[in-house]
């Protein structure tokens, strides 16, 4: 059975730009808040181009060795196991490094040689120089608003990429995404998007991250599974956004006004 085409609703020509970067053989940096569609865009791109997708969710322990590979002891033997970057380079796949700024700085060595004209990897532990197969593309995502002071991408890294900013779409498009993604009524989609716009505009809430399209999709799914819309917003939108009792109450009030 063939896999269905991932649903991605382009907001401002970003899918076209991403496709062009792939065809031009350039690495791509997707900037945007959590839940703004970065991963979905990459899935759609992989499907369209017919190239496999290898995703790495980076965290503060992700190292160059994790990306490249390591020797493992199996039985009495030592066997080499390719890491995701090596596999992607051999296969000619899209390598998606999600939340790249979280990873350890030593991954830059890997990125820089893959991202520039060399398109190669140096596997020092194997003494192998690997040229990325045609079709290989490095794609990274980065959330500029998140822990800004602690983690920012260095100019020498970011200037190797073609970069696209993803933001939350306008109300009609966001409602279309929520309705298409969940099959909910246009009325519910509109109500959820209205709530999101209200929350995004109240800066006094001082949220670390504001409500994303992902949270609206979750709320609509809870309603589809039988929950009352306000209760669904409480568990799918309000509680994930804050632990502060006062802010939770303020968000609940906004839910009551919107739905
Ligand atoms: P990110 O990678 O930016 O954190 P995702 O790509 O995982 O976000 O998006 C979260 C969810 O939001 C998706 O699973 C999808 O339901 C929905 N979504 C957000 N933006 C879009 C879009 N432009 N087209 C289709 N779905 C979207």
Say how many C-beta atoms besides its own lie within 10 A of residue 208's C-beta: 10
pLDDT the model gives residue 206: 83
Confirm if 75 and 121 have CB atoms less than 8 A apart: no
36-88 confidence digits (pLDDT tens): 999 999 999 999 999 999 999 999 999 999 999 999 998 889 999 999 999 99
Pocket test for ligand 1, best of 98, 166, 213 (most atoms within 8 A of CB): 213
**Which secondary-structure segment (H or E) carries 192?**
helix 186-201
Residue 142: exposed, middle, or buried by beta-carbon count in 10 A (0-12, 13-18, 19+)?
buried
How many helical (H) and strand (E) elements, i.e. helices and strands, does the chain have? 12, 9
**Is the pTM above the cut of 0.75?**
yes
CA atoms within 13 A on the CB side of 174: 25
Instruction: Check pLDDT > 80 for residue 147.
Output: no
Distance (Å, whole) CA 45 – CA 123:
28
126-142 confidence digits (pLDDT tens): 999 999 999 999 999 99
Q: Which carries the bigger pLDDT value, residue 149 or residue 118?
A: 118
3-state secondary structure of 90: helix
Length of the chain: 259
Cα(9) to ligand 1 centroid in Å equals 9
Instruction: Check pLDDT > 70 for residue 148.
Output: no
Instruction: Check pLDDT > 50 for residue 29.
Output: yes
Cα(214) to ligand 1 centroid in Å equals 6
Instruction: Check pLDDT > 90 for residue 144.
Output: no
Q: Which carries the bigger pLDDT value, residue 156 or residue 99?
A: 99
CA atoms within 13 A on the CB side of 208: 10
- Determine which residue's CA is closest to atom 21 belonging to ligand 1: 37
- Determine which residue's CA is closest to atom 6 belonging to ligand 1: 37
Q: Which of 159, 184, 164, 163 is nearest to 174 (CA)?
A: 184
The CATH number given to 14-165 is 3.40.50.300
Instruction: Check pLDDT > 70 for residue 146.
Output: no
87-130 confidence digits (pLDDT tens): 999 999 999 999 998 899 889 888 888 988 889 999 989 999 99
pLDDT the model gives residue 149: 39
166-182 confidence digits (pLDDT tens): 989 999 999 999 999 99
Ligand 1 contact, 143 CB (< 6 A): no
Say how many C-beta atoms besides its own lie within 10 A of residue 256's C-beta: 10
Cα(217) to ligand 1 centroid in Å equals 9
Give domain limits for the chain: 14-165, 171-258
pLDDT the model gives residue 156: 83
Mean pLDDT for 196-208 is: 90
């Amino acid at each position: 059975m063939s896999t269905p085409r991932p649903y991605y609703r382009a907001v401002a020509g970003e899918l076209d730009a991403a496709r062009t970067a792939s065809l031009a053989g350039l690495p791509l940096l997707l900037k945007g808040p959590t839940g703004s569609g970065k991963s979905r865009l990459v899935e759609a791109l992989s499907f369209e181009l017919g190239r496999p997708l290898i995703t790495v969710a980076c965290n503060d322990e992700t190292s160059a060795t994790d990306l490249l590979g390591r020797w493992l002891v199996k039985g009495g033997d030592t066997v080499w196991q390719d890491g995701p970057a090596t596999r992607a380079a051999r296969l000619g796949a899209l390598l998606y490094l999600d939340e790249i700024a979280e990873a350890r700085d030593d991954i830059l060595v890997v990125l820089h040689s893959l991202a520039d004209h060399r398109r190669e990897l140096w596997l020092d532990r194997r003494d192998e120089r690997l040229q990325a197969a045609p079709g290989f593309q490095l794609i990274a995502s980065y959330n500029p608003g998140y822990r800004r002071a602690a983690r920012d991408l260095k100019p020498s890294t970011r200037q190797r990429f073609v970069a696209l900013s993803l933001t939350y779409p306008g109300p009609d498009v966001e409602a279309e995404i929520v309705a298409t993604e969940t099959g909910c009524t246009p009325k519910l989609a509109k109500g959820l998007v209205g709530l999101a716009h209200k929350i995004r505009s109240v800066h006094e809430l001082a949220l670390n991250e504001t409500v994303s399209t992902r949270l609206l999709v979750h709320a609509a799914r809870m309603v589809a599974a039988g929950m009352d819309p306000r209760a669904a917003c409480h568990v799918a939108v309000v509680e994930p956004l804050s632990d502060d009792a006062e802010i939770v109450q303020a968000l609940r009030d906004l839910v009551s006004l919107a739905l």
